[in-house]
Amino acid sequence: MDLFGDFPEQTPPSDSDVQFLDTTLRDGEQAPGISLTPTDKAEIARKLDATGVGVIEAGSACTGAGERETISRVADLGLDATVTSFARGIKGDIDLALDCGVGGVNLVVPASDRHIEGKVGTTRDDVVETAVRLTEYAKDHDLWVEVLGEDGSRADLDFLERLMRAALDAGADRICYCDTVGHATPDRTADVISRLAPLGPTSTHTHDDLGLALTNALVSVAAGADLVHATVNGIGERAGNVALEEVAVALDHGYDVETVSTEKLYDLAQTVATATDVPLAPNKAVIGENAFTHESGIHTDGTLKDDAMYEPYSPSAVGRERRLVLGKHAGRAGVRAALDEHDVDVTKDELNAIVEQVKEIGERGKRITDTDLLAIADEVQGRERDQRVELLDLTATSGGATPTASVRLAVDGEEQVASGVGSGPVDAAITATRRALDIDATLESYHVDAITGGTDALVTVEVEVSHGDHSVTVNASDSDITRASVTVMLDAFNRLLDGNPEPAVADD
């Protein structure tokens, strides 16, 4: 089946032809669990404006007094972008938008018979009359007006064209094709936009329910749409809206169409992720952690030889940096490059031994940090690492109601003693150790990795500890789980403090 054979031939638009309407603050916020504060919306709006977004839909004035206060705050920021409010086909919604001081409204009216008859309970003629009357009313009040045909992807195309033509004749600044439920295929999208674009300025609003939001947005532009509705990170109802950063980069990289300042996209994405508490998927295009991260030995080697070997565009184009990480797929080139960054010279045999240990750790599902790598290199090259923290004595009891432990440490040659309580002797011992050091470190994970059989069972404890921007994963074995736990914590602290000239330890 040739899905794309009947697409109309179009000339890709020039730079000035395509802009964005960002609806993160309205459609994006409608995603379950998201509620943006006025401060959040103001910060996001400022960054959208700085990125070059032309229209910012700040919310729905009809939602309530709190939402109107927030919309007003965004409208008062003095942005270059046009700030709008979503408005239903009700005169009162336009009045509420006017009270917020916005520059425009996104006026939505039903377009499909499912919505006209089943949702609103009206007729096609009444919908056209409402669109015309409210468009004229909004224009009389000096508002920029975009008329959206809700569920346009399932509408009768002849009626949709009639509705949008009437809106433009009434003075609407532009019309919008809405794939409200992410129903449309690319060929359907092309058919609709090709009918609407000749009428006047046409926008496209796509959702990702079929995973086609980006494709449909690009097809819309190819068919004549010149404004794309999008949200940052693709947040939105159900499967979300088309992601602004993906459309912007696809147009820029694939068609030389510049829409926004792409180098600001990553910072914008992080801001929205933090405000919405919706973390970025590691494999998310453009802004995911893994987008410019290489572990595979083949890919790392190729990237070191040529930046573009395994990347379609430079990470700096979207405000990112390339990362070469070490794991079970690591190769000699990647490990050598990481060692070179720390000015560590190794022989061929030493490199092979380091690579073998890196792969062994990676096989256990662990990531190898710079601190880990340097510790492995020290071990392979037989260098003694300064032990700034040494365990002198450890006692732990659990016979009473509250498990307790005490430790005596040598820290840079000075003795430190501390005690602690916990849910068990191990917890108490770790608490005592951290008190003795008073180091600003976080125990990210702790687990027993392996236990041998027999009465003298050997316990292997593995921990991940972070300190500032660094983290380390280490393990230690002992027949005493409490001693193994303290030993591994001290080993982690030694590695983390090794490159820190100012030890963060207690003075008393």
Please check whether residue 6 lies inside any domain of the structure: no
- Report percent pLDDT > 90 for the chain: 51
Structural domains in the chain (count): 3
How does pLDDT run across 391-412, given as a tens digit for each residue?
Answer: 888 888 876 678 898 989 888 7
Please check whether residue 239 lies inside any domain of the structure: yes
- Per the CB < 8 A criterion, the answer to whether 199 and 165 are in contact is yes
209 and 61 inside one domain: yes
- Amino acid letter, residue 490: L
Residue 407 and residue 194: Cα distance in Å, rounded?
76
How does pLDDT run across 207-218, given as a tens digit for each residue?
Answer: 999 999 999 999
Domain boundary among 231, 251, 276: 276
- Average pLDDT estimate for 253-282: 93
Predicted pLDDT at 323:
63
- Average pLDDT estimate for 27-49: 95
230 and 312 inside one domain: no
Closest CA to 26 of 85, 111, 114, 83: 85
Residue 136: domain span: 15-276
Please check whether residue 284 lies inside any domain of the structure: no
315 and 403 inside one domain: no
30 and 166 inside one domain: yes
- Average pLDDT estimate for 425-453: 76
52 and 172 inside one domain: yes
83 and 230 inside one domain: yes
How does pLDDT run across 56-89, given as a tens digit for each residue?
Answer: 999 999 999 999 999 999 999 999 999 999 999 9
Query: How many CB atoms are closer than 10 A to CB 250?
Result: 20
For tokens 């947040």, what's the residue?
Answer: 235
Residues 6+ apart with CB under 8 A from 395: 405, 406
30 and 178 inside one domain: yes
pLDDT at 362 over 90: no
Please check whether residue 26 lies inside any domain of the structure: yes
Please check whether residue 504 lies inside any domain of the structure: no
Is the pTM higher than 0.75? The answer reads no
| Four-CA torsion 266, 270, 276, 280, nearest 10 degrees | 80
| The two three-digit tokens of residue 9, written as one number | 């031939």
128 and 188 inside one domain: yes
| The two three-digit tokens of residue 386, written as one number | 């300064």
| Residue bearing the bigger pLDDT, 443 or 453 | 443
Question: What band does 454 get if pLDDT is binned at 50, 70 and 90?
Answer: low
Please check whether residue 487 lies inside any domain of the structure: yes
pLDDT at 329 over 90: no
Predicted pLDDT at 55:
98
Domain boundary among 360, 381, 402: 381
Query: How many CB atoms are closer than 10 A to CB 92?
Result: 11
3 state SS of 22: strand
Predicted pLDDT at 95:
97
**Partners of 55 in the beta sheet?**
21, 82
Q: What is the end-to-end Cα distance of the chain in Å, rounded?
A: 78
Domain boundary among 252, 276, 300: 276
206 and 99 inside one domain: yes
Please check whether residue 316 lies inside any domain of the structure: yes
How does pLDDT run across 465-507, given as a tens digit for each residue?
Answer: 887 767 777 777 676 888 888 888 887 887 777 654 343 443 4
| The two three-digit tokens of residue 144, written as one number | 């920029």
160 and 76 inside one domain: yes
3 state SS of 83: strand
178 and 264 inside one domain: yes
The region of weakest confidence among 13-22, 66-75, 136-145, 419-428 is 13-22
CATH number of the CATH domain containing 153? 3.20.20.70
Predicted pLDDT at 14:
44
446 and 328 inside one domain: no
For tokens 């927030």, what's the residue?
Answer: 70
The region of weakest confidence among 172-186, 249-263, 328-342 is 328-342
| The two three-digit tokens of residue 12, written as one number | 């890709």
pLDDT at 356 over 90: no
Predicted pLDDT at 317:
86
CATH number of the CATH domain containing 464? 3.30.160.270
Question: What band does 3 get if pLDDT is binned at 50, 70 and 90?
Answer: very low
Please check whether residue 397 lies inside any domain of the structure: yes
pLDDT at 389 over 70: yes
- Amino acid letter, residue 219: V
Question: What band does 439 get if pLDDT is binned at 50, 70 and 90?
Answer: confident
Question: What band does 369 get if pLDDT is binned at 50, 70 and 90?
Answer: low
- Amino acid letter, residue 403: P
| The two three-digit tokens of residue 182, written as one number | 């992410």
| The two three-digit tokens of residue 471, written as one number | 């983290």
Residue 9, phi then psi, degrees to nearest 5? -75, 130
Closest CA to 57 of 65, 213, 139, 48: 48
